[in-house]
Structure 1
């Protein structure tokens, strides 16, 4: 099945390899893999046409395998960028991260549990086993006899999570409120596995803490200033 135009074969071979080099100039993984597939198709054509005795199956098989792997990876990358599974309740948290892909955020959600109703969240002086994020309603912070209502968008237990120390206040979720609850051990395991989630979560927790420190009489556990849900009772 050889081709009678060796110059055309040379062009196919060199263009295919040149495109493979160009692929590495792309930072976007989908674009990179699409260009790699184009390169592999051209190189496969070369190994199909080069020999009059038929395709050169050894190199051709590897090119085909490379095409298949990249097609699968493109499908996974597209899936990672789709927003399915991010409902209205958790959408504000996803948008607050800003840097996480929908897939990364879904993996963060997968190790959390949604809980609601009146219940204690943290006890002062005791190291929490969970990190919380208030989705709706309010939680009551009690420290040194002072009480503060914390609204949606706030993290609870972030100081203990960041430092590994005990909770700095007693916090109780109010009736009708809902939170995301992460087991600390499971969450740390995910953060060790996925550096992007580690960096994004630590950054958001640090920002949340900085805002609380500058706007609250209870800096360790106060809510975000733009929620309009803060009240001292």
Structure 2
């Protein structure tokens, strides 16, 4: 079948223009860039077949534009999906419902993972907390006023102290085998100051966590490792 008629009539130029116009009419950034990328492909096809000798300068310019667009599409997909995350990271991300995957990746670049090979005290009542903690797997033990309660996985330790820059209100011990994630408080605050959307997402997360803990807290915690309804007061 002879396709020369379609090339000579500029059908591919019209298709490319249609894609560009549709892209500019949408508010969805990902859809916009996908349509522009498709339009760029149509332009490249046209430039290749429009004359006896392909228009290599135009093809090269279009390839550069397409490559740049494809690069940004990759960034958008990384910000919106958990693609490429390890199973451990995906599991941890479930505890960050107010953050998108891109924001989660950014804060995890500043995080460190620790699996306790012996009991570790990460918070001391009245002391300064230099780090924010999250129990990733296992449990931690909260001790205050002679009482103990369990901090299950998925809970932060020290978010109130982080928000108000105050001292810790309880002792927290991580037993052997428990894995926790920690962030340097000052570095995380600096990251939040430089990214208002990230700051809002994290603040919403901490407020939600604190509200959930207050909703289930009770004044009659029994001594010696009484479970705390899957949540505990903050330090």
On whether the aligned pair clears a TM of 0.5, the verdict is: yes
Q: Which moved more, 1:43-52 or 1:196-205?
A: 43-52
**SS of residue in 1 equivalent to 2:87:** coil
Superposition pairs for residues 135-154 of structure 1, below 5 Å?
135-154=136-155
State the distance in 2 between where 1:151 and 1:56 align: 62
Q: Residues 74 and 5 (structure 1 numbering): CA distance in 2 closer, same or farther, change over 3 Å? A: closer
State the distance in 2 between where 1:169 and 1:42 align: 64
State the distance in 2 between where 1:79 and 1:225 align: 36
Q: Report the equivalent of 2:55.
A: 55
Q: Report the equivalent of 1:157.
A: 158
Instruction: Give the Å deviation of 1:83.
Output: 4.0
In the alignment, is residue 113 of structure 1 matched against residue 119 of structure 2? no
State the distance in 1 between where 2:39 and 2:121 align: 59
Deviations 1:133-190 (A, max 9, x none): 1123332323344433322221100001112222222322233322111111232344
State the distance in 1 between where 2:43 and 2:137 align: 56
In the alignment, is residue 168 of structure 1 matched against residue 169 of structure 2? yes
Q: Report the equivalent of 2:222.
A: none
Quick check: 2:130–2:185 contact (8 Å CA) kept in 1? yes
**SS of residue in 2 equivalent to 1:62:** helix
Q: Report the equivalent of 2:32.
A: 32
State the distance in 1 between where 2:90 and 2:16 align: 43
TM-score (norm 2): 0.73
State the distance in 2 between where 1:120 and 1:5 align: 73
Count residues in correspondence: 219
State the distance in 2 between where 1:53 and 1:140 align: 75
In the alignment, is residue 128 of structure 1 matched against residue 129 of structure 2? yes
TM-score (norm 1): 0.73
**SS of residue in 2 equivalent to 1:176:** coil
State the distance in 2 between where 1:68 and 1:205 align: 39
State the distance in 2 between where 1:197 and 1:224 align: 33
Q: Residues 51 and 137 (structure 1 numbering): CA distance in 2 closer, same or farther, change over 3 Å? A: closer
Q: Residues 65 and 161 (structure 1 numbering): CA distance in 2 closer, same or farther, change over 3 Å? A: same
Quick check: 1:134–1:155 contact (8 Å CA) kept in 2? yes
Deviations 1:36-74 (A, max 9, x none): 1121233345556677886383x5543221111122333
Q: Which segments of 5 or more consecutive residues in structure 2 lack a partner in the other structure?
A: 220-225
Quick check: 2:98–2:205 contact (8 Å CA) kept in 1? no
**SS of residue in 2 equivalent to 1:97:** coil
Q: Report the equivalent of 1:68.
A: 67
Q: Which segments of 5 or more consecutive residues in structure 1 lack a partner in the other structure?
A: none
